[in-house]
Chain A
Amino acid sequence: MDVRYINPFIVASINAFTNFLQTEIKAQKPFLYDAGNSDLHYDVSGIIGLAGEVKGSVVVSFPKLAALKIVTRMTGVETKVFDDDVTDAVGELVNIVAGNAKKGLQQFRIEISLPSVVKGPQHRIAWMAGVPVITVPLSCEFGMVYLFVSIKEVGA
C-alpha cells in the first residue's frame, strides 16, 4: 500500500475531531494491522467501504467509555449506555472521515458506502483479502481511538 494514501484519512480524522467534537487529537505512529494484536482495545466500530477506482475500507474504533464521552459531547446530554445515539454518532464520524479524505485522494474517483456500526468487545472486522490494513492510534481527551485504513488501487 502506498503510505501517501493514509495521510488524507489522518488529516480528515484530525479535522473531524477538531471541528465536530471541538477537541484536540494527536495521531501516533501508524503500523501494519495484526489481527493477533491484543493491545488494541475497542468496543464499537464505524465502517465505510470504499469502491470505484480504489477498493478497501475505513474503520474508526472506540473503547466503550470513549464512545460514550464523544456522544455526550455531541449531544450535550450525558450518555451512559450504548444506544441508537452511539450508533448514529459513530456512523457519522466515520462518514465524515471517509468523505473528507476524498479531498486528498482526488486522483481517484472514489465512492463511499453508507456507514455500518459493529458493537462488542474486541469484535472482528472482515477486512478485504489482499489489501493491507494500516492502524493509526489517535489519542484525545476521551481516550485512545483507532483509525484503520485499508485501501488499494483497483488493478494494482
Chain B
Amino acid sequence: MAILVVDDSRLYRNIIKNVLAERNMADEGILDAGDGSEALSILLEREDISLLLVDWNMPKMNGLDLVKKIREMDRYKTMPIVMITSEAARYNVMEALKAGVSDYVVKPITGRILGNKIDAFLQR
C-alpha cells in the first residue's frame, strides 16, 4: 500500500509526510510529487496507491484537473482523495467535491487534524 502526496510546496509535502511517518507508514510507502503532471505519471506507473493527498494550485497540472483525469480511470474510481488547499471559498469546495474528491481540507492545517483525517481513510 502506498500514499501519494502532491503539493508544489516542498515544505508542505514534508509536513504531510511527517504526519504519515508518525502513523508508522514505511518510507517506501510514502510517495510525493510537485505537480499534477508528475503525480499522474506515478499513478499510471504504480498500482499500489490507495490514498491521494493533493493540493489544488500547482504548476503544469493543478489538483482539480488531476482529480478529474484520474476519476475517469477505472482503477482510481473509488480511491480516497483528500484535497488539501488554501482555497477556502464554498464554490471551490463544491467544485472539488463535484470533481470527485472524498474530503476537502483547508490550509493551514494542524498535524493532529490532518492525522485524524488520514486515520479515517486508512481504517476503511
Segment with Cβ contacts to A, from B24-32, B38-46, B69-77, B104-112: B104-112
Chain B interface residue count: which class? 20 to 34
Interface residues of B in 1-50 (CB under 8 A from A): 8-12, 14
Instruction: How many A-B residue pairs have C-beta atoms within 8 angstroms? Tell me.
Output: 61
Tell me whether A109 and B91 are in contact (CB under 8 A).
yes
Q: Contacts A112-B57, A114-B57: A98 and B11 contacting too (C-beta < 8 A)?
A: no
Partner of A106, one of B58, B85, B89: B89
**Cα-based distance from A74 to B85 in the complex (angstroms):** 17
Interface residues of B in 95-124 (CB under 8 A from A): 106-110
Interface residues of A in 65-98 (CB under 8 A from B): 74-75, 84-85, 88-89, 91-92, 95-96, 98
A45 within 8 A of B: no
CB-defined contacts of A74 to chain B, threshold 8 Å: 11
Residue of A nearest to B86 (CB): A99
**Cα-based distance from A112 to B90 in the complex (angstroms):** 15
Tell me whether B88 and A100 are in contact (CB under 8 A).
yes
Classify the interface of chain B: helix, strand, loop or mixed. loop
A103 within 8 A of B: yes
CB-defined contacts of A20 to chain B, threshold 8 Å: 107-108
Tell me whether B11 and A103 are in contact (CB under 8 A).
no
Nearest CB of A to B11, in Å: 5
Partner of A100, one of B9, B10, B59, B86: B86
Nearest CB of B to A73, in Å: 11
Chain A interface residue count: which class? 20 to 34
A15 within 8 A of B: yes
Tell me whether A102 and B87 are in contact (CB under 8 A).
yes
Partner of B9, one of A15, A16, A91, A110: A91
Tell me whether A114 and B11 are in contact (CB under 8 A).
no
Most buried by A among B8, B85, B89, B92: B89
Query: Can you list 20 residue pairs at the A/B interface with Cβ under 8 Å?
Result: A15-B108, A16-B108, A75-B11, A88-B9, A91-B9, A92-B9, A92-B11, A92-B12, A95-B9, A95-B57, A99-B86, A100-B107, A102-B87, A102-B88, A103-B88, A103-B90, A106-B89, A106-B91, A112-B57, A114-B59
Residue ranges of A at the interface with B (Cβ–Cβ < 8 Å): 12, 15-16, 19-20, 74-75, 84-85, 88-89, 91-92, 95-96, 98-103, 105-106, 109-110, 112, 114
